[in-house]
Each structure stands twice: as C-alpha cells, then as structure tokens.
Structure 1
Amino acid sequence: MFSGASNFVEGVDKAFVFIFAVSFFFIIAITAFMIYVVIRYKRKKDDKPQQFRGSVKLELLWTIVPLILVILMFYYGYMGFTPMRNVPDDAMEIDAIGRMWEWEFVYENGKSSRDLVIPVNRPVKLNLISEDVNHSLFIPAFRVKEDVVPGYDNYMWFTPYYIGEYEILCTEYCGMLHSAMTAETRVLDSAEFNTWYADLSQQKEEAKPEGFEIAKSNGCFACHSRDGSKLVGSSFKGLYGSEKVVITDGEERTITVDEAYLKNSILYPDQDVVKGFSKGLMQSYEDVIPEEDIDKIVEYLKTMD
C-alpha cells in the first residue's frame, strides 16, 4: 500500500483510507456506546417504565451526518476513478487477451508475450479482449482492475513509475484453473524496453495447427488440458494411442484411443465415458462442428505427445 507504483495509487488509496477510517471510527464508537448503554441502563427491580417521544435533533443528526460522509466517500471515489477513463493521446496501445486460463499481450509491431512488458514513465493503454468467458484483469500494485468480457470493448490505462515486476491476476471466476490465471508486469527502463520490443527473434513464426484453432474456438481447452493435468475431461496430452478404461452402458472395458474413438467422443460424448470422469458434462458436437473440422481436430490430437 502507498507504493506509488503508478499514477493511480494516490487517488485510489485516498478513497480507501477515508472509507476505512470512517468505518473504523464508527465501529469503535457504536460498540463503545452499546456497552455503555447496557451497563448504564441495565434493568432494576424498582424501575418504572417511562414514555419517550421522538427527538427531531437526533433524527436530523443521524440523517445529515451519514449523508455528508457518503457524499465525501463518493467524492474521493469519483476523483480516483475519473482519470482512469481519460487516456492520454500518446499512450502506447497493447491488446490484452484473456482466455482460459492465460493472458497474452500483443503489441503494435505484432510481438506477443505471456507477460506484460512496458517502459517506465510512459502511459500504457490495454485493450481488453476475451476469447471465451468473462475475465477481469487486475494489477494490484497499480490499483487498476477492469472486466474482460466477450464482445465488449473495454480498456484500462496507467503510467508505471518504478522499474520492477508486479503480479497480474484474474479476479473474475472463469473456471477450474481460475486461480492459476496469472502473469507478470515487467517495467523496464526505456533503453531496455526498446531492445526487447525490437527483438522478434523469439517469436513463433509457424502458425498454430488448424485443428488447434478449431478446438480453441469451440472451447475444448476449457475442459481438456494440454499439459496432462486433470480438468473436467481427460487431458489431450498423450491421449492418442493410450489405453483408457471407459464405461459403456454401465460396464467397464479397456480401449485404445484411436481416430474412431476420438471422433465418436466428439459426436457422442456420453457413449464411452473414461472412468473417473462424469457423464453428461460435454455436449454433442454432431451439428456444431463440420466433419472435416472434426478430422482436423483429430489430426491435431495425434501430435499431443
């Protein structure tokens, strides 16, 4: 807190501190008053009931004071938020793409990175894009967070003040590996950033297999991992040619995963369910994916060693 890592830290922290201070004061004051009333006005045998009438002064007090406090909270919050929507004309634009469960940052020269690499003391605008479900990009040290929603043009901007590394989180629950959807913001000095930005030697020149793109666009990687980890369905890693125990009509049998099994699993997923996984979680793609595209997916899965 109060790190000043970006131009928005001061405004956000002012609003936070004010709201926290007001809340802290009143929780202490109200608790102390309740304890005092319980002790001071505890029931006695000789007490006689009394009739009390309303107090205009008290009613005005507990109406006007909270109103003033709420207006002040709104003021500090508004003053911290308004600059976040006013992007400088000289801001460097980067596409921030969210997908289950990773971030990708694409620069104007075509370079892409899993981490956000930016120069210090330069305004940066992130165009927020989702390829599947709702995400939310949050950089705690910079005090910026915006939703990343499919089909909705959203953005965030900030100016980093200090060289260093800062974590990026997804704060919108987006599935099983939501908590692992992290990245880093690497803030470099101008010379180091320019060198990194101009170096395209590590970029992947070859295009992703067509089967990969078809599988991604149909949400296959939301339930099937590519690294061997267990999700909703079997991992694609090493799937082709492996032996699996499946449940068919309530009975177990061992099969070798071949082209026929893969195609049948895409078209009729509940027919042969791998043991250890649940039935009814995957829809049939019989009328969704054309036959030639299914063949391309199968060819891609053959390469997943």
Structure 2
Amino acid sequence: MTEKTVLVTGARGFFGGYVAEHYLAAGWRVIGLGHGVPGCTCEGRMVWHRAHVVLESLERLEIEPDLLVHCAGSGSVSASLRDPFGDHARTVDSIAAVLEYVRRHCPHTPVVYPSSAAVYGDAAHCPAREGGTVPLRPASPYGTHKLMAEQLCASYGAHFGVPVAVVRFFSLYGEGQRKQLLWDACRKIRQRDDLYGGTGEESRDWLHAEDAARLVAAVALHASPACAIYNGASGTATTVRQALTLLYRELAPGRRPCFSREARHGDPCDQRADVGHTLSTGWAPQIRLEEGVRRFARWFEAVCDD
C-alpha cells in the first residue's frame, strides 16, 4: 500500500506537534513547514522545512499531499492586542497562502483548519453551537482574524471546490504547552504565588491535545467544499477555580488558588461547546481533565527539574 503524506504547518509548535505525532503513529509520512523550536518529540521522524508559511515556500516543496493540516499561525489573544497587524499576517495571510497553494497545485487535497472558540467571543448562547444562526462576536483581534480565516476557507470551498473542515478548538492543553493557564499556574506555584486574575468562576471547556489531534484526523475524513465547522471540546464546562484546584492537588497540596476579581481584556467569561455535530463523526474525547492535569503536572516537574 502506498504511504500517505500529510503536510503539517507549524509541526514544531505545541498543537502541530501532537498532530504530527498522531499521523506518524498511524504510519503516514509527515512533512512539516514553519518555524518553532527544535527538539519536538517527532524530531528526526518527519521531513522538516524551516520557512515562513507563504505561497512561495509551499510551492518550493513540490508535493501533492494526501492531507494538509494548517497548525501554524497566531496562538495568543494578548499578542494580538500588542501587534494586531502581525497577528493578521500570521493568521489570515498564512491560511490564504495554504488555500491558494491547494487551489493551484492539489485541488483535491483536504485541508483541516484548527480555528478557535475565540470567534464566538463571550457567547450569550451557551453552549456555543456551530451554525449560521449563532452570533459571532470576537472580543479580540485574535478572534477576529480566526473568523476571517474561517471565511476564507468557506470561500475557497464554495468558489473553487477545495475540500475543507474547520475545528473551533476551545481550551486546548497538554504536555509541552509552555503558555496559558496551566503553565502559568505551575510557574506561580513554584514561586509560591497563589493569586490569579479574574474571579475563578469563569468557565472553560478543556480538551487534551491528544484528543484534539484525533479529532483532526476524524474531521479530515469529512472535509468537503461545504466547509463543515466542528467544535473541538469536551462539552463540559469547568471553572478556572476547579481546574486550578486539580493542579494544586498535584503540585501544592494544602494550598489553594486565590483570585483578584480583575478580568483580563479579551478573555471570555464563560465557554462551553455543543459537541453534538462533532460526536457525529464517531470521535469522542478519551482523556478526562483529572488525568490530563495529572500528566501535565508530572511533565512540568520533569522539565523544571532537568
């Protein structure tokens, strides 16, 4: 049987690395494009091309992959507020290059775009449901640019027949993630700083990156010019206080998190996904939050003690 090839942009990044690992384990040839820090777990087992994700660098690859997963791009609300122009380039311009490359050179290659629940903003409709009737009110340039990227995906599907699937991921986490709540909290615990922003009652819908990578593989089988959108989440809301309490049990038993009651601009108060459409693909999350937090804590201890 002919070996299948997947092109993963951002394969040295946090989530791109999980996607690359998933396909390597499934026996695929993985080609990575982008930047990122050397030393990811799939180093040496994928073909790596260090370059910006622009049309010229994609065309230099001279490949027609069986699948393209575009994980490169912006991943930070705060960075988008500091540099909205750069965030636009990393998110909107890069997906435009990917879609144009597929249109010109491999129009039947499915494209999976990992988007973000940031397109919903602080949704009045909770759980957030995919579909045209759901109001999309991004609260940051990051969310706005993700929405623009989704619209490009839909446009290339409608006008040029490019098969696309979009996944709006909610709160992704997992070993290797060196930013966002769990990583920041681990560092604060080490520094004996137990004060966090917000009230602690803000809710998030957590999904481990291993489950998220499996979801990418599931929706790739359903990519089409109709550009279906899926919520990437567990369907369960967990407060920030609850998530941090799980982490404290692992790293600081006897201590507990405290909250300043001051919210950070651009962060939604409550998020929970309707995952009915997502579950219809046959996918289901396997890693419970308690297990995932335990694994994250053990990984953090290992990397900090090295």
Normalising by structure 1, report the TM-score.
0.21
> Which protein shows a greater Rg?
1
Q: Which structure's residues are more often strand, by fraction?
A: 1
* Larger RCO (CA under 8 A, 6+ residues apart): 2
Structure 1 or 2: more helix by fraction: 2
